[in-house]
Amino acid sequence: MSFVTVAQWVQLLGTGRVLVVGVFLFFFGSFIVDFTWKPRYPKSLPRVGYGDGVFATMKNWLGYVLHFNDWVAEGYQKYSKHGRAFVVPSAASRPNEIVVPRSSTRWLVEAPERALSTHEAHEDVMYTQYNFLGADDRFPIGVIHRHLARNLVPLIPGIQEEVEAAVDAALSRSLDATGAATPVPDSEGWFTVSLWELWLAIVPRVTNRLLVGAPACRDEAFLAHMVQFADTVVRNSFILNMFPKILHPVVGRVVALPNWWHWWKASRIVQPTIEERLRSMASKQPRRRDSGFDTLPSGELEAEEDFITWLIRQAVADGNLHELDPSRLSQRILPVEFAAIHTTVITGHSLILDLLSSDPSSGYLDAIREETDRVLREECDGTWTKNGLSRLYRTDSAIKESMRRSNFATSLTKKKVVAPEGITNPIEGWHAPYGATLMLDLADIHHDPDIYDRPEDYDAFRFARIREQFEARPPGERDPEEGLRVMKQGMVTTSDTYLAFGHGRHACPGRFFVAHELKMILAHLLRHYDLKPLAERPQPQWIGQTIIPPIQATIQVRRRKLAGA
């Protein structure tokens, strides 16, 4: 090697070092700028983690990935249980969070939106500006609030139809190591099923029966893009958590490119359904002139009841005619797709793991099977109804108990201070400035032995016993006030000790659908299939504020022979 070549290599290496140092200084400077922009909390609020200051803050950012849940648990024992709020470190791009004790729950959830905003906290956590293609999700979430509960009852038969078809289709084949489809034995033989893939095959299809209706909900390409979209949202949120916020306008747009791709591919599939719905709904209403929806009366529009119909109906009612563009309507589905698919798949996955890893002598599976068979036969004549589903006390309790014990997030109730002057907690007296994030600690409340007996155990019928005991009394011995308290044991009723759906007026508006969906899935699964118990429950891993489920978990399944078959 000549002297010139060596010199060139030295020069290149030097240039490389300069480049590396330059990139490091750029990122370090970006984090410093972010640090100076973040809200400052009063010194009276105790801290967990590595402390304050620039270098301690950087350690907190690195520690957030693996230690956030532990830090919140530490603060809960030291402070929350004594009625005190504390500050926990958050991700690099987000401000530290004030963990509000249970004694301040009512104050937090009832504060006006103009002071403490659930919507803006949600936008910050989900990076809505990038993940949901720049569209504000207020309109679709508002449509769910207005239309889902009042239209759910007549939708139950269709949901049941989709549940049964989806479960049977998912279990009609298992995948071998090469991915080739192999038939499921009709009797006797057990076969191995990926539990994660099973729920991914069921939930998106059933969810989209509600969102886009049949037959679009069965289009495998559409469902695949919606699942991949949901996965991409999770991945992007983690990436953006770790980048300084000042870089998000660039990084956010780059990482969101797959979101645009999955939406575009899915929209090509569902857009004909949307266009047909627009034509159908317009044709069923009188118009003063041939100009579409702009002259429709404010009355109800007749159409198949699903989310597409509700979006159109609400846009007309509000006079927001720009919302009636088919492409825009397909975008409005995205936030609901993510919320419904991601959370329900994790919940169902955890439910089966909890049930199968319980002591077989507890008889949980047989008891749920007996209850669902009996109610379906006596109350429903083979077709689920609202009343029939509401009588599934043990089934409801088994799901709620799994959501209590196997929570998938540290917190699902967050608020952002949006009042320019900040807000003062009237119980403790501390002041949170503009931009501060406040949260309720779901994880540790759900596992507090002072609230729940043996909280680490999965007691499937924990919430059913009080309901069954009340129902067993003669009607004359049932106190009405006690009856109201008993009814609140159901999974859709939130409280300051049960936060799996959030709490307050911003609790998950889709929880009523999810409750019906999960009950019907579990009922059909146990009625038609045997599930082999697990020796040990596979455990998830915590990454920041959420879990990574044990997606490698498999279960053993075989088809059952129904009595009289």
Could you read off the pLDDT of 470-528 as tens digits, one per residue?
A: 777 777 667 666 667 777 789 999 999 999 999 998 999 999 999 999 999 999 999 99
CA 28 to chain centre: 34
Does 85 or 138 have the greater pLDDT score? 85
Answer whether residue 178 shows pLDDT above 50.
no
**pLDDT at residue 9, rounded to an integer:** 52
Q: Note if the bond before 95 is cis, omega within 30 degrees.
A: no
**pLDDT at residue 179, rounded to an integer:** 46
The rounded distance, in Å, linking the Cα atoms of 454 and 46 is 29
**pLDDT at residue 26, rounded to an integer:** 58
Answer whether residue 131 shows pLDDT above 90.
yes
Q: Residues of the chain with pLDDT > 90: what percent?
A: 71
- Amino acid type, 109: V
- Least confident among 15-29, 162-176, 208-222: 15-29
> Per-residue confidence at 14, pLDDT binned at 50, 70, 90?
low
| 229: exposed, middle or buried (Cβ count in 10 Å: 0-12, 13-18, 19+) | buried
Does 305 or 35 have the greater pLDDT score? 305
Answer whether residue 289 shows pLDDT above 50.
no
What are the tens digits of pLDDT across the range 77-99?
Answer: 999 999 999 999 998 888 999 99
The rounded distance, in Å, linking the Cα atoms of 244 and 58 is 11
In terms of DSSP bridges, do strands 529-531 and 554-559 run parallel, antiparallel, or are they unpaired? antiparallel
CA 320 to chain centre: 28
- Cα within 13 Å of Cα(21), Cβ side: 6
DSSP 8-state code for residue 502: B
- Least confident among 29-43, 70-84, 381-395, 544-558: 29-43
Which DSSP string corresponds to 392-415?
A: -HHHHHHHHHHHHHT-SBS-S-EE
> Per-residue confidence at 370, pLDDT binned at 50, 70, 90?
very high
Mean pLDDT for 64-69 is 93
Alpha helices in 293-414 (DSSP H): 307-318, 326-332, 334-356, 364-378, 386-390, 393-405
Mean pLDDT for 330-341 is 94
**pLDDT at residue 306, rounded to an integer:** 94
Does 282 or 225 have the greater pLDDT score? 225
The rounded distance, in Å, linking the Cα atoms of 550 and 542 is 11
Answer whether residue 288 shows pLDDT above 50.
no
Answer whether residue 296 shows pLDDT above 80.
no
Which DSSP string corresponds to 257-293?
A: HHHHHHHHHHHHHHHHHHHHHHHHHHHTS--SSSSGG
Mean pLDDT for 140-167 is 94
Alpha helices in 111-217 (DSSP H): 118-126, 128-131, 138-170, 195-211
**pLDDT at residue 470, rounded to an integer:** 76
> Per-residue confidence at 380, pLDDT binned at 50, 70, 90?
confident
The rounded distance, in Å, linking the Cα atoms of 217 and 211 is 8
Mean model confidence pLDDT for the chain: 87
Residues in contact with 83: Cβ distance below 8 Å, sequence separation at least 6, in sequence order: 101, 103, 427, 428
- Least confident among 21-35, 212-226, 410-424, 441-455: 21-35
**pLDDT at residue 417, rounded to an integer:** 97
